[in-house]
Structure 1
Amino acid sequence: MSFEENKMLIMPAVDIKNGKCVQLVQGKPGTEQVIIDNPEQVAKKWEEDGAEIIHVIDLDGAFEAKDNLNTIKDILDEVNVPIQLGGGIRSVDYAKQLLNLDIERLIIGTMAIKDSNTIKQLSEEFGSERIMVSLDSKDSKVVIKGWKEKIDKTATEISREFQEAGAGSILFTNVDVEGLLEGFDIQPAIDLVNSVDIPIVYSGGVTNLDDIKSLTKTGVKGVVIGSALYKDKINLKDALKLQTIQ
């Protein structure tokens, strides 16, 4: 699914931990505020509500170097809309395995930052539109390895490197506000949009429809919504009405 000029895709999040759909606060294990069995059924519900793409994150892959591959396959079997997947993709071989499962777009974080040549390799083989680099920001610096390790650069500072390496898009996550349902500062998203020519997807702190409206003015091409959907702060059908930018 390509990004469109006058559209900001609403992407409901399905985060997987121990085979269940969960929502964490600032990505910290042990802060689960939502735990739901059968993530594939959750993804199906978002599809039925009108989502055009589902954002799936394997938290076990991100935190513990194990994966939820069977659950990911169940989601792929259950839904008909494209799946955007990230979390724990630490090798090119595993990335290829996932892309060969018909994952629409693969999100790569730590591996990309450690070696941008992996992005070049994958984008050349599978197409840049299927390769998204994850730039997660905490205290204004990029964090890797499940948000546990910080590097001394901002997302804006390193974004062009990944565009040049062949990434088709960037996922920017504001870890400082992730899962808090307290809103967010839109300026980092604007700065990132202005730094590269590839689509930016925003994630972190989206709490209400006004937050979504503010993002439509930043130039981002997608927004990931997690806790606000699961805690009924945002109704997905209402959010989807804001996808088309006037």
Structure 2
Amino acid sequence: MIIIPAVDIKDRKCVQLIQGDPKKKLVELEDPLKVAERWVDEGAEMIHVVDLDRAIYQRDTNVDIVKEIVSTLEVPVQVGGGIRSVEDGIDLIDAGAYRVILGTSAVKNPKIVEELSKEVGKKRVMVALDSKEGKVVIKGWKERTEYSPVDIGKILEKKGAGSILFTDVDVEGLLRGVKIETVKILVDELNIPVVASGGVSTYEDIIKLKDIGVEGIVIGSALYKNLLNLKKCIEISKGG
């Protein structure tokens, strides 16, 4: 299992939001590249980058920073946020991203997953499934669908998704721990790797997620607020 520190970018700064609300910043740091490099220096084997301005406002103000991060770091970088077309995905892969994360665009139009995976290969296409009260939510968590994460996960797996990023919106950014049951259902029902995100705030959370077989864990707020030490998280993930 791999620990993946989150570098979320808004207004060209590294931020951590509470419940995805752009008005509620838990953390704000000046230089996203330096932040990412710090996590790599501390042992991170992969970095998770999200362009919040592109995701929320369809603004391309951070694209140069994202591309600088993926081309500079010597570890794989997965990139999400506002990737709405096959061309967007290819552009980021060409810039050096290890894999790109499709969210709303994939849920509303699964064909984009099929087309992108044909172009760049399945392992480079990750789909983000955000769940609130057991149903997938889209458009920055504002629109609720009637489908469970497993329902949509199975469809997108058939379309060519290489992995799933599962975020439990109910606990995201609140530092209250993870709800294992929902993640476990996804891991058990799908044949592609699942990376968990949202709510991880204790070493016990990491152990629980490792035990159910997730491929990785994206951790944000808990690292930035020093509730968790990255090196210790990595030790636990490796079985230490």
* Normalised TM-score (structure 2): 0.97
Question: Deviation above 4 Å: which 4+ runs of structure 1?
Answer: none
Structure 1 residue 186 and structure 2 residue 180: aligned? yes
1:100 CA drift (Å): 1.1
Written as runs of structure 1 = structure 2, the 5 A alignment for 1:230-241 is 230-241=224-235
Query: Partners in 1 of 2:6 and 2:194 — Cα distance?
Result: 16
Q: Distance in 2 between matches of 1:177 and 1:15?
A: 17
2:68 alignment partner in structure 1: 74
Q: Corresponding residue for 2:22?
A: 29
Q: In the TM superposition, what are the counterparts of 1:55-204 in structure 2 within 5 Å?
A: 55-67=48-60, 68-204=62-198
For residues 109 and 76 of structure 1, what CA distance do their matches in structure 2 show?
Answer: 20
Aligned equivalent of 1:229: 223
1:44 aligns with 2:37: yes
Task: State the SS of the aligned residue for 2:79.
Answer: strand
| Counterpart amino acid of residue 60 in structure 1 | D
Q: CA deviation at 1:78?
A: 3.2
Partner residue, 1:220: 214
Unaligned ranges ≥5, structure 2: none
Residue equivalent to 1:5: none
1:146 & 1:62 partners in 2: Cα distance?
7
Whole-Å separation in 2 of the counterparts to 1:103 and 1:63: 21
What is the RMSD computed on CA atoms of the aligned residues? 1.1
Q: Deviation per CA, 1:172-200, whole angstroms, max 9, x where unpaired?
A: 00011111001121000000011110000
Q: Secondary structure at the match of 2:188?
A: helix
2: distance between equivalents of 1:242 and 1:161?
33
**For residues 139 and 4 of structure 2, what CA distance do their matches in structure 1 show?**
23
* Alpha-carbon separation, structure 1, partners of 2:68 and 2:174: 29
* Structure 1 unmatched ranges of 5 or more: 1-7
- Aligned pairs, number: 239
**TM-score under structure 1 length normalisation:** 0.95
Q: Distance in 1 between matches of 2:22 and 2:118?
A: 35
> What is the CA-CA distance between 1:245 and the residue it aligns to?
4.7
Shift of 1:76: 2.3
